[in-house]
Amino acid sequence: MAATWAAHNPYDLAARLRGIPVYLSTGNGRPGPLDPPGPQPDGLEQLLGEQSVALADQWRAKHVKVVADFYGPGRHAWPYWERALHRSLPMLMAAVR
């Protein structure tokens, strides 16, 4: 089981990403400016945000080019995905040229 996990885990596969630009974007689970009124903080989103920060740190330690947008308050919802896509598009287009 551990070998299967390591074979598919981005944290463990960092060395394979050298030379490939990576864009990470995450909020921290607290209601943000693009959320509808009234949502409560989301503990799972907070945990996933922390894991994304750890992943970026691991990748940078392995010399992976990481562009990180850890924007603070915000949740896992379309308005944030759309914003991240717009922010990442120049990097993505440069990578496929």
Cβ atoms 19, 62 nearer than 8 A: no
62 or 42, which is more confident: 62
- Rounded to an integer, the average pLDDT of 16-33 is 90
Tokens coding 29? 């689970």
Cβ atoms 62, 18 nearer than 8 A: yes
Determine the pLDDT at residue 20: 87
- Rounded to an integer, the average pLDDT of 40-57 is 90
Average pLDDT of the residues of the chain:
90
Q: Rounded to whole angstroms, how far apart are CA atoms 88 and 28? A: 19
Residue 79 has pLDDT above 90, yes or no: yes
Number of helical (H) and strand (E) elements in the chain, helices listed first: 3, 2
